[in-house]
Amino acid sequence: MKPRNYINRELSWLEFNERVLDEARDRAIPLLERIKFLAITASNLDEFFMVRVGGLQQLVRQGSRKMDPAGMSPEEQLEAVSRRTRRMVEGQYSCYLDDIEPALAQGGVMRRRPGELSDRQMKAVEQVFESEVFSVLTPMAVGGDREFPLLTDRMLTLCVRLDPGVGEGDARYAVIPFGRALQRHVTLPAVGRYEYILLEDVCTLFIQRFFPGEHVLEVVPFRINRNADLSVREDLAFDLLEEMEEILDQRKQSPCVRLEISQQASLGVLEFLQRSLDVSSRDVYAVAGPPDLAAYMRLTELQGFEELKYEPWPAHPSPDVDLKFSLFDILSRRDILLYHPFDSFDPVVRLVEESADDPDVLAIKQILYRTSRRSPIVAALARAAERGKHVTALVELKARFDEARNIEWARELEQAGVQVIYGVKGLKTHAKVCIVIRREPHGVQRYVHFGTGNYNEITARQYTDASFMTTHEELVSDATSFFNTITGYSQPQKFRKIEMAPLGLRERLIELIEVETERKRQGRRARIMAKMNSLVDPALIEALYAASSAGVKIRLNVRGICCLRPGVPGLSENISVVSIVDRYLEHSRLFYFYNGGDELVFISSADWMPRNLDRRVELLVPIEDPACKARLVDIMETCFKDTVKGRHLMSDGSYQLPRHKGGRAVRCQESLFRKVRKIARQAEQHRQTTFEPYRPGGEGI
């Protein structure tokens, strides 16, 4: 393994976030969508600092000199990350201040500064301050002999510098944390447009109300990120639920990994906060505009500005799911493949809801990783248990940043009578599977749903993911064995069709790659296509390099991190990598191997990363139904044809948009939407004239 053959993981992730920022810069995209992309880049950076940078800082404190596959030590990675992130932050604020904010004002969404308010607006702001802000917020004196308060991660806070008075020595300070109760964007009275003022500007306007009789010298907004890279010592944990709650408490007081502060802050304020928060200069990010651009996501929810948003792309009902029939009747006749969000997620929800209400259903077994706040699936599982069905839910408490929510509804499920299992010791359960056991005239029948995404009907409208529902005997048998393996003490079984991590998934993937490699060496045709979120695993990268050297044509669609260098002569000249960043988050994991013409197609919950293959419970599921398989191949092919949003990875780690000369521009997400819409319309016309089920033909989808 040669370091020059690998791209550093952290720098690759930052390049992904830059591609998201490119969408915010794209003036062909509607304005409120551009600010959504900008907010996403800010939110992404928060999590990057909390997890990845926090982890690197821990390694440096421990004195680690261990090199990553690209040959960089933790200290070298922190230095490189700091340099790259500063350029990105400058780009974020240049995009916002010089482009998006002026354009929004022209489009009818305007931010007002304190000196720009009309008399009417000033009265409205004063009323809001007196009735809400002043009552809710609490200033706290800090410095001197006063202990600095425990500030909440990512919460905007004001640092106030007060005049110490004649002969009183150093300046005095106070902080005002904003909390979660108040809106950052305060709506102003306006006619025919939306105008707002930021909460920090409101507080600055009336800062003397907090400090009567004092001379306020400076008011500076800032916020911090705390290290969230804390893990449960499961070998010592007697009660995993209680241990996770302790981890959540520890995060509230973990070290500060970044201080984001207005660049208008004086040196005195900056030095005071650095001392108080124990932050090095490398971890200070002075920004040219309002801190916390992630808060601007709220503006994307404004009503009445539809011309500043994308044209709606509603999800369409699957032609395979006729509402006149039960899903059990439909699945007894055919497998169903759904590709969200183009296909509606409703059949997945409906499977669980029908199972909860059907008197012939005996049991439901399901893995829950992330769900929505008012999840209809969680409600259906509780209802099923209350109706006497045997319901087992494996709830992954270690789903980062969703731990508190998962703990809450796991307890609700337990109270309803659901048998709740809190993950697998030492591993994070990331597989997506639901098994329904039903009594039928011919005996007990099992129905299974496998997915690449979570059981979350909200994100299913925002992420591209595949769902596969089947009664295929070998697959449902494997699913049952898999579930029993991870919930009980049974020894891992030899599955007939599926593979699971951490037991054999990497080995199976390497085997599939090596089969293509050997076929090519024998002079036969060989081809690999893979779609995933991240490619990091050195063993799989080395296998792909070997396949490329043998002449295997490999096309990879990797949305985010890619540590493989494509296009290197003698190493990877037969590998191309494309990343697609568009209105939906590319999230599905799809894999294709030519296999001598007997094509193999898989869906998976796992990215090709060590964490997925070694430290998580994941699934790789073969899709053998000809129509379902053909559709997945078409989806992958469509992604590789993208000439609008498909950025190609260069061997130096940079990305370039394709240059199409006079040909038809292809935007894969739009192409997939239009195909699904066309077939949905044909299916509806078909149902109006016949009771026979509709099966699309010749549509390539």
- Whether the upstream peptide bond of residue 314 has omega within 30° of 0, thus cis, is no
State the catalytic residue, choosing from 430, 449, 472, 587: 430
Structural tokens at position 185: 């964007």
Structural tokens at position 616: 């998580």
Rg of the Cα trace of the chain?
Answer: 27
**Axis-axis angle for helices 346-357, 376-386 (nearest 10):** 10
Residue 322 carries which side chain, given as an amino acid letter?
D
Query: How is 231-268 classified by DSSP, letter by letter?
Result: ---TTT-S-HHHHHHHHHHHHTTSPEEEEEEETT--HH
Q: Which residues contact 676 (CB under 8 A, 6 or more apart)?
A: 316, 339, 342, 343, 701
Query: How is 384-402 classified by DSSP, letter by letter?
Result: HHHTT-EEEEEE-TTSTT-
The H-or-E segment that residue 600 falls in is strand 600-604
d(CA 366, CA 34): 37
For 220-254, b/e burial (b = at least 16 CB within 10 A) is bbbbbbbbbbbebeeeeeeebbebbeebeeebeeb
The H-or-E segment that residue 111 falls in is strand 109-111
Q: Answer yes or no: 430 catalytic.
A: yes
Q: Which residues contact 484 (CB under 8 A, 6 or more apart)?
A: 490
Structural tokens at position 538: 């050195």
The CA–CA distances, whole Å, from 608 to 16, 124, 281, 581 equal 16, 54, 35, 19
The CA–CA distances, whole Å, from 364 to 73, 355, 391, 610, 670 equal 48, 8, 5, 31, 36
State the burial class of residue 121 (Cβ atoms within 10 Å of its Cβ: 0-12, 13-18, 19+).
middle
The SS3 assignment for 643 reads: coil
d(CA 564, CA 576): 10
d(CA 403, CA 245): 8
Residues assigned a catalytic role = 430
